């Protein structure tokens, strides 16, 4: 599975931790679209880059992190075919996959800790969509 990652300065540290974690997992290739330092950066550019790449089919899934996750999710969800789930705990990360077939996980780097975030990443990558009535509803989104 090909994964693309992106963050602004508010999510930089958490993105780095997520990247190291994902690179340690077998069967995932990880591409980092920045930012590459904690210097202030505008979140929309990274969100556009990641969302466009997932929407184009270049990557299977994406992870976006800003301070709250709000700005990244607002931008990413403007793309047709993108289902960006702003998640704060294990339950929302799992349900985002099971019920919403989320293809981008969004997290707030100033909201959650690293340990929780890495478990959420695992759930996001490994939980299948439940299909059935949930897939019908996903189909109604666009």
Site residues (CB under 6 A) for ligand RB5? 8, 10, 43, 66-68, 70-71
Report the residue number, 38 or 67, with the smaller CB distance to ligand RB5. 67
Active-site choice (21, 88, 99, 134): 99
DSSP, collapsed to helix, strand or coil, labels residue 5 as: strand
d(CA 24, CA 125): 13
Q: Pick between residue 46 and residue 53 the one whose CB is nearest to ligand RB5.
A: 46
CB 109, min distance to ligand RB5, A:
7
Residue identified by tokens 């184009």 is: 56
3-state secondary structure of 73: helix
Sequence-separated (6 or more) residues with CB below 8 Å from residue 39: 9
Residue 18 is among the residues annotated as catalytic for this protein: no
Tell me the closest approach of the beta carbon of residue 103 to ligand RB5, in angstroms: 20
> Which of these, 96, 130, 132, 89, lies nearest to 113 by C-alpha position?
89
Instruction: Report, in Å, the least distance between residue 67 CB and ligand RB5.
Output: 3
- Nearest to 110, CA basis, from 61, 51, 43: 43
Let me know if 99 is a catalytic residue: yes
Nearer to ligand RB5, 10 or 96 (CB): 10
Residues belonging to the active site: 66, 99
């Amino acid at each position: 599975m090909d994964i693309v990652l992106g963050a602004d300065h508010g999510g930089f540290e958490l993105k780095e931790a997520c990247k190291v974690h994902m690179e340690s997992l077998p069967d995932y290739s990880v591409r980092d679209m920045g930012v590459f330092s904690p210097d202030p950066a505008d979140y929309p550019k990274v969100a556009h880059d990641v969302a466009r790449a997932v929407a184009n089919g270049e990557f299977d899934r994406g992870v976006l992190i800003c301070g709250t996750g709000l700005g990244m999710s607002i931008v990413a969800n403007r793309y047709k075919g993108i289902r960006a789930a702003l998640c704060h705990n294990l339950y929302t990360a799992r349900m985002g996959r099971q019920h919403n077939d989320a293809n981008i996980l969004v997290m707030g780097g100033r909201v959650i800790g690293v340990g929780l975030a890495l478990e959420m990443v695992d759930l996001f990558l490994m939980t299948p969509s439940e299909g059935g009535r949930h897939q019908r509803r996903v189909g109604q989104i666009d």
